[in-house]
Structure formats: C-alpha cells, structure tokens
Amino acid sequence: MTPIDPVMEVAALPGYAPLLLLLPLIGFAFTAALGRRLGKMAHLVPLGAIVVTWALAMSLAIPALTGGLGEGGASMPLFTWIASGDLSFGLGLHVDALTGALLLVVTTVGALVHLYSVGYMSHDDSYWRFFAYLNLFMFSMLLLVLADNLLVVFAAWELVGLSSYLLIGFWYTKTAPGLAAKKAFITNRVGDVGFALGLMGLVVVFGSLDIHTVLAGVEAGALVGPAATVIALLIFCGAVGKSAQFPLHVWLPDAMEGPTPVSALIHAATMVNAGVYLVARMSPLFAASHDAMLIVAGIGIFTAIFAASIAFTQTDIKRVLAFSTLSQLGYMFAALGVGAWVPAIFHLITHGFFKGLLFLGSGSVIHAVDGEQEMTKMGGLWRKIPITYATMLVGTVAIAGLPPLAGFWSKDEILGEAFKFGFTWVWLVGMVVAGMTAFYMFRLMGLTFWGKSRVHDESHVHESPWTMTVPLIILAVPSIAIGAALGFPFANGILVGGLEPIFHPAIAMLAHEHEAWTLFGIDGLLMLASVTVASIGTVIGVRLFRDDNGAFLGGVTRRLQPLYDGSRNRWYFDDLNDLVFVRFGRKFANALWWFDRRVVDGTVNGVATLTSSGGRGLRQIQTGRVQNYALGIAFGLVAIAAAYLVLAG
C-alpha cells in the first residue's frame, strides 16, 4: 500500500488557477444569497464570473493542448480534504491536454449558455435562482475536470449530479420536473455505488487516490488480472450512470423537463461527458484489462444504435436530441473501448459544440412557438426564424458526419481506428448508426423547419433576441471548423499531438500497431465508406421530410407497426424498470415494513402481553380464602421437606 511516485515530471500551475473554481462558487454564493433582491439584474454577477472563468480557462487550455505545459501537465496542491491514519485525500488542481480539451468545451459552452439564458429565462420569476444553479454547476464541473484526486473527482461527480437535480427540477411547481430530477439523481447514484466501490478498491491496492499515483501504479503493473477488470468495471459503472449509457440511460430523456439551456449545457455538452472523461483519464486502468475494454466497447456501441433507433420515432424535438446525445456518447465509449482514446476525446469536443448548438437552437425554436416542443405542431419555420434555422442546419450537417464539418472528422477517426484495431463489429454497427444519425437529424430538421406550418397561431412566431442568437452563431463556428482545426492533418493534428502523451501508456499497454495514415489506402476507403453511409442517411432523410408526405410515412409506419411502437416507447425499457424496481421494490419494502411491525416489534409487544397475561393468570391463586392459602403452605412444607430429604440423601 505504499504510494508509487508519479513518473512524469509535473510543472506548477499559475497562481490564479484556483480562481477557476472560486469565481463560479462566489457567483453561486452571492446570487443564492442576494439574487432574489436583484430582480432582472441577477445575471450580471454569475455571467461576469463565467466570462472571466472562460478567459482564464482558455489561458490554460490552449497551452495544455499545444503542449505548452509539458507532457506531465501542471498541478497545484491546495489542502487535505479527508485524512485518516496513513490515508489522506487531498484537493489539488491538475491541468494537462485532456483537462484542456474538457476546459475548452465546458467553459466555452458554459459561457455561451449563460449568455443565452439571459434571454431565454427572462420571463421566469426565479431568474436569479437559475443563474445561481448554473454557477454551482460550473463550479462542480470545473472541479471535476481539474481535480487531481479521484475522491475529489467523485465529490464533484456528486455535485454535478446535485446541480443537474436542481436544474432539471427547476420548475418545481409542476409535477413532471420533480419526478425527472429525482429519477436523474437516483439513477446516477446507482452508477456511483460502483464508482465508490472502485475507488475503495484502488485505495486498498495503492493506498492513495491521487490520480498520478494510481496511474503510475497501474502502469507499473501493480494491478492486473481479475482485480483490474473488477475495479475498472466498477469505475465504469460511474461513467455509465453519468454519461447515460445503457442500462442507466433512462434518466437523460426525462431530464429534458429542465429548461433548454440546461439541456444544452449539462445534458449535451458537458456533464454527460464526465463519464467519457473519467474512462479516458483512467485509460491505463482499462488498458490493463482486456475484458473491461470489451465491455466498454460493447455497451458503448449498443447504446449508440439503441438510442438512435429510438430517436427515429420521437416527436418531441428535445427528446430526439436527447437520444441522439445518448447515441453519440455511445460512440465515444465505443471508441474508448476499442482503444481509440484520442478520437473519443476529439468526438467529445466536436459533439460538445454541435450538440450544444442544436439544443440551444431547439430552445430558440421552442421559444419562438411559445414553449411548444412537439414537432408535429411545427413545420415551415425556416422563414420565420432564419438565424435559428441556419445555425441548426450547420449543427445537423455536423452531427450527420458530412465533411468538412466537425462531426465528420471525429466520427471518421473513431470508425477508422475501430476497424483497424480489429473491432469489425464495432465498425459495422458504427456505420449503421452513422447513417441512422444522419436520417433522424434531417427528419428533425424537416419536421421543424420544412414543409407547411402546423403551428396553430403563426402570428406569435418570432426570432429570438440577440442574447440567444449570438450564442447560436458563435457555436456554429466551431461546429464547422473545429474538426478540421484540431484534426487536420489526419492522424496527427493538434489534438493528437496534445493527447498522445496522455494516452501513451495505455496505448503502449494495448500494443496496437500503428502504421502510418494513408489517404489512398485503408484509411481512405474507410473514410469513403463512412461518408457514403452518412450521405445515404442524409438523402433519405431530406427526401422524406423535405415536404409533408404523411401518406407514405403512414404506410411505412403501418407496415412496421410493432417496430414503430417499440421504438416510440423506447423499447419499453422504462416500463421494465418501473415494474422491477419501483413496483417490486415497493412491494418488498412494504413486506419489510410489515415484518418490522408484526414480527420484530410484534415480538417486543408479545413479550409484554405474555408477561401481563402471566400476571393475570397468577393472581387467580389469590382466592381470598384463608384455608386455600393454608393448604398452599402445608403442601409447600411437604415439598420443601421432600427436597431436603432428597438433598440430604
């Protein structure tokens, strides 16, 4: 249990690094305390805090990604959090390329969502509360990515869960958000149990939860075999919960009950990526267990196709996006599973931007049609809200994986490496999913913007204020360019350069042979294939939904009724959960409750009644008649005499 010293030399973080955490925290505390009195001014402090945070974050992220901080990254110990005997868990900050990648997404999208919310939430009574929660989330999320100790990561893990709970349940006077919030928190907790147990395992093995100590230990081969598999999978449980992978995916679609900016920030761009981050961060641990990798890949790719198949038939605009998020996260896990760590993070970044964009766009749409989310009640909106339309189109193309937009680059790398590392099945499914993605995204576009309008009162439909459109436009930029920016030239763009060292140990452990990237070779073919699939999906989608041909669609639906219903009802998975956990769980708990009252407490009261009834029985011998008493005495005398004679022998 003696800690193993980190192998890589670590630089020191600049002194202002803690501000990344303090600013949002202060913003939260301030707004929570005084926001109520500030009315419509309540956003100033939180927004300011986040903007500054963004600037600071960039000043760290960019060097980190471009190797400016050195391979080991930079860190700064703060204070000991929990200490017991020879174990102590300290809070410290650490920034390296991986952190940088996350900072990039988190702070950028975060800042934009704050700005966006100024407009989106302007009519809400508890405006201030929303911004307070947002800052609390930013604090937690940044703590999660910056922490250098897994216990702190776990803490942040729970805190983002809390913020997510608070924001999903933001409109607490309605019933649905309350339920959704509860569901989200509890489902996450299921994963966290595994996470916690995994951490305990690590403590027992390494005597520390300091990330570098642990990883160094793993790389030194201190953890192998079943133990490695078990611990890796336990930690993966946490990721599955937070990143809403099958079977813990159920909370994410419901989470759409929260305000749309929240969906964009937490449930698309940042928090749900925490799982990916964690697995990537612990890459050597997973690399140490082949089985663990397989399971990660399996769950990832299954979630990808499973969610996509559901997204096909959803009519709530935000739910479609939610399922597509699941699907895309599945992609990332598949990538992590096959050992394509860099592409996974790459996809995390690109997805963060374009999914954020899509969600904010959908928010703008909903805003435009007075909170309507059913796409069946939209249509033909492109003229009314052109900016929203344009930006969302960008996002759609990006996610569909059509070159040269962001999605194409990351998705292509994932599929490519999956194939090259011999995970043909992952590759195949991935291709299919790529096509499906393109299809359902254009279905979304079609139902929302094209064809003739199904909005009941068109007069109200209006473009959103600049506070909302500006973020859309800003986000459109990375959705278009960041793929190329980070991913070109192929297989050794900036990102690869930055992240390679991070994953080097893991890659080394897996010993994947890496031959050079060849445009006119296997890589080119794979690229061609993925583009083709995406295009096919796109074409079908556009073709079917460009203008209403309900008749034809109805026909198809009818022919595939069972499949359609299954997909529409999320393959009945929530009903299964409800049956097994809620219904049976309640029955079981009630049984215990009965047991508690009747058996456990019953015994206690039983003893009491027994005693008193014994008393009632015994008092009968007091007949009130002297001679009965005397007879008792006489026989007592005889008995005692007999006893003595026996004892005396």
Partner 1 sequence: MNNDLLTLTPLITVIVGAMAVLVSDMITPNRNHAPVAVALAALGATAALLINQGGSSASALGGSYVAGPFVAFLGLLGISIVAITLLIAPAYLAVRKYPTAELAATLLFALAGAILLGAATDLVTLFVGLELMVIPGYVLAGYAKRDPLSTEGAVKYFLLGSFSSAILLFGIVVLWGVAGTASLSGIATTLASGNASAGLAVALALITTGSAFKIAAVPFHYWTPDAYQGSPTPITGYLSVGPKVGAFVLLIKLFVIALAPLAALWIPVMVVLAAATMTLGNLVALTQSNVKRMLAYSSIAHTGYLMVGIVAAGAGQAAGIAGVLFYTAAYAFMNLGAFAFLTALQGRPGATTQLSDLAGLGRKHPRMALLATIFLLSLTGIPPTAGFFAKTYVILAAVQAGGPATILAVIAVLNAAIAAFYYLRVIVYLFMRDPAEPAIQVAEGPMLRAGLLLAAVGTVALGLAPTPIIEAVVQALAK
Partner 2 sequence: MPLPDVIPFIGLGWSDVLFLLLSGVVLAAAFAVVFGRDIIKSGLFLILTLGALAGIYVMLGAAIVAGAQVLVYIGAISVLILFAIMLTQTKVAPVKLAFQTQVAPAALAAVLLAVLFGLAFGSTNWGSTVFTDTPAATGTAPVAAALFGPYLLAFEIASVLILAAVIGGLYLAMEPKADEVGEEAQ
Partner 3 sequence: MSQIAGHLEPYLVLAGMLFAIGSFGFLARRNAISMLMSIELMLNAVNLAALAFGAFIPSLAGQGAAFALLIIAVAAAEATVGLAIVIAIFRNRKTPLVDEYDTMRQ
Interacting residues with partner 1 (CB under 8 A)? 611-612, 614-616, 618-619, 621-622, 624, 626, 628-630, 632-633, 636-637, 640-641, 643-645, 647-648
173 vs 620, beta carbon nearer partner 2 = 620
123 vs 619, beta carbon nearer partner 1 = 619
Task: Find the binder of partner 3 among 626, 646, 647, 648 (CB under 8 A).
Answer: 626
**Count of residues in contact with partner 2, rule CB under 8 A:** 9
State the Cα–Cα distance between residues 602 and 593, nearest whole angstrom: 12
633 vs 648, beta carbon nearer partner 3 = 633
Q: What is the SS3 assignment for 11?
A: strand
Give the torsion sign (CA, 219, 225, 228, 229).
Answer: positive
Residue 528 as a binder of partner 2 (CB under 8 A): the answer is no
560 vs 634, beta carbon nearer partner 3 = 634
Give Cα separations from 317 to 253, 312, 314 (angstroms): 11, 11, 8
Residue 622 as a binder of partner 3 (CB under 8 A): the answer is yes
609 vs 623, beta carbon nearer partner 3 = 623
State the Cα–Cα distance between residues 214 and 75, nearest whole angstrom: 16
Residues 456, 440: contact at Cβ < 8 Å?
no
14 vs 632, beta carbon nearer partner 2 = 632
State the Cα–Cα distance between residues 346 and 503, nearest whole angstrom: 13
Distance in Å, CB of 606 to partner 1, minimum:
15
Distance in Å, CB of 646 to partner 2, minimum:
13
Neighbours of 371 (CB within 10 A): 8
Piece of 126-134, 230-238, 595-603, 622-630 that binds partner 3 (CB under 8 A): 622-630
Residues 552, 540: contact at Cβ < 8 Å?
no
Distance in Å, CB of 622 to partner 2, minimum:
15
Residue 645 as a binder of partner 3 (CB under 8 A): the answer is no
41 vs 631, beta carbon nearer partner 3 = 631
CA dihedral 163→166→168→174, nearest 10 degrees, is 180
Residue recorded with tokens 């006489």: 634
| Token digits of residue 353 | 């931007």
The one of partner 2, partner 3, partner 1, none whose footprint includes residue 647, by CB under 5 to 8 A per kind, is partner 1
- The distance of Cα 194 from the centroid of its chain, to the nearest Å, equals 15
DSSP string for residues in 73-104? -EEEEEEEEEEETTEEEEEEEEE-HHHHHHHH
State the Cα–Cα distance between residues 35 and 265, nearest whole angstrom: 22
Residue 590 as a binder of partner 2 (CB under 8 A): the answer is no
Instruction: Mark residue 248 as left, alpha or beta (left: phi above 0; alpha: psi -120 to 50; beta: remaining).
Output: alpha
Distance in Å, CB of 226 to partner 1, minimum:
51
Q: Which among 277, 44, 81 has a CA at the least distance from the CA of 160? A: 277
Half-sphere exposure (Cβ direction) of 85: Cα atoms closer than 13 Å: 4
Distance in Å, CB of 600 to partner 1, minimum:
19
Phi/psi for 216 (5° steps) reads -55, -45
224 vs 641, beta carbon nearer partner 1 = 641
| Token digits of residue 561 | 């009724």
Residue span 602-641 as binding mask against partner 2, x where in contact by CB under 8 A, dash where not? -------------------------xx--x--xx-xx--x
The CA angle 107-111-116, to the nearest 5 degrees, is: 145
Distance in Å, CB of 614 to partner 3, minimum:
14
569 vs 628, beta carbon nearer partner 1 = 628
The one of partner 3, partner 1, partner 2, none whose footprint includes residue 629, by CB under 5 to 8 A per kind, is partner 1
Distance in Å, CB of 624 to partner 2, minimum:
14
The one of partner 3, partner 2, partner 1, none whose footprint includes residue 2, by CB under 5 to 8 A per kind, is none
Site of interaction with partner 3 (CB under 8 A): 619-620, 622-627, 630-631, 634
Site residues, partner 2 (CB under 8 A): 627-628, 631, 634-635, 637-638, 641, 645
